[in-house]
Amino acid sequence: MNRKALWSWSALDIRDGVRCKAVSATEVITAHLDRITAINPQINAIVTLVPELALAQAQEIDAAIARGETLGPLAGVPVAHKDLTLTQGIRTTFGSKLFANFVPTRDAEIVARMKAAGAVTLGKTNTPEWGAGSQTFNEIFGVTRNPYDRSKTAGGSSGGAAAALAARLVPLCDGSDLGGSLRNPASFCNVVGFRTTPGRVPIIPSENPNDPLPIAGPMARTVDDCALLLSVISGEHEQAPLSRLIAQSFEPPIGAGASPSKIAFSADFSGQIPVDPKVIDCVNDTRTFFNDLGCEVIDYCPDLSGANDTFHILRANSFARRHGEGVRRNPLDYKQTIVWNVEAGLALSQTDIQRALRQQAELIERFRVFFEHYDFLVTPVVQVPPFDAALEYVTEITGQPMHTYIEWMQSCSIFSVTGLPALSLPAGFTSRGLPVGLQIIGRPSADLAVLQLAKAFETINPVWQRTPVF
């Protein structure tokens, strides 16, 4: 490994290097801070930087090593937290001008767990206002740009995290996902984003701890690094009722698992939703890798009817519950798409909500039957390649109009409704050099199996190694 490019090391390499004293935590953090200074102005991924705090934490780790103390699993590893995530003593804006100078007095549980594991916090990553939409921009910090093409978006809402990972500013980031906010930017930026089973990573604090739609999860450049972070932030918590899952060990290295898997493979969702031909071509090119792994690959996509309507209703209801009072009081404090989403939620009837819940139950049952015959479903992550950063959202796909700011995200949001684990994995690039991700959807609670298939694919198609040029 190149000591002159510590910023390019994986999280596992940093952890092991610090443990065996091949490199100090202070050296690692200094290298990453220098990288951020050089590159971040071009992409605007990290919006709040805390260099003094980070160096102080690194020095404490080096002192602990000198004393022979036992280190946590992330000791010396630089991380950055999404600007929706509470960080004690570090500004957290939620991308909203209402909270432009807000400094929390507590950490979110995932931040507390990362700190306890020895991770070194470098700062906060950009997000759209209140995490709404898969395009990362807000009135406080502006637009986050794609490291592979600065004229394109990094996606969202964990767009700052994905861009920071791709640009080698940090090796690990946390993210969140309601309708695709982990998976979409991971696909756009050639990194890994894992929408884990709801409750696998407890969300604390939470306004609605029983809601399975929003999840928190890990982002990284490789499957093993993703698993490393998941091993730290997952696990039961008494305040998170959904976290009472059967425990799984995610400690890397993840064993590559594939054969004799039976995979349903669909690059176009069997025509049920529109997909850009450039994405279809790129995803179809990955089929041979699964064949090489010994998988049985069958062209098939389950019936997804009702999923989009269900997601729109449940999301609108959630937005009305969270932002309804603020929007009623002063709608000018919110971007127009949030106001629209809140108004849609306030207009819902009990009949609408019951229809959504009925459709959701029917969809979950169809997937239960599907997984009696298949081990995984493999699809595109996003229906389009990264688009112009000046656009708020995609307005048409293959000539089909997208009427709302979330309609073009169906390829992610329909699987949010199922509660199934879904991982975005680097798959390839379009002819114009834009990243395209592969979505691996697994059986209920089969998070580890999803990671194992992803690791097997990554091993024979290490496209994550293609770095952006600055």
Q: Is 82 a catalytic residue?
A: yes
Please state, in angstroms and rounded to a whole number, the distance separating the CA atoms of residues 108 and 202.
Answer: 10
Give me the helices (H) in 21-166, please. 25-43, 51-66, 109-116, 159-166
Choose, from 24, 96, 134, 181, the residue flagged as catalytic.
Answer: 181
* Positive or negative: CA dihedral 258, 231, 171, 383: positive
Q: Is 181 a catalytic residue?
A: yes
Concatenated DSSP letters of 167-180: TTS-SEEEEEESSS
Choose, from 96, 134, 157, 187, the residue flagged as catalytic.
Answer: 157
Alpha-carbon dihedral angle through residues 179, 180, 182, 186, given to the nearest 10 degrees? -170
Please state, in angstroms and rounded to a whole number, the distance separating the CA atoms of residues 291 and 262.
Answer: 10
Q: What is the DSSP letter of 237?
A: B
Task: Return the half-sphere exposure (C-beta side, CA atoms, 13 A cut-off) of residue 7.
Answer: 19
Of 189, 250, 124, the C-alpha closest to 382 is 189
The answer to whether the beta carbons of residues 264 and 462 sit under 8 Å apart is no
* Cβ-based neighbour number of residue 262 at 10 Å: 12
* Phi, then psi, of 384 in degrees rounded to 5: -135, 160
Please state, in angstroms and rounded to a whole number, the distance separating the CA atoms of residues 269 and 418.
Answer: 16
Q: Is 445 a catalytic residue?
A: no
Please state, in angstroms and rounded to a whole number, the distance separating the CA atoms of residues 212 and 444.
Answer: 13
Please state, in angstroms and rounded to a whole number, the distance separating the CA atoms of residues 453 and 35.
Answer: 32
Give the active site residues: 82, 157, 181
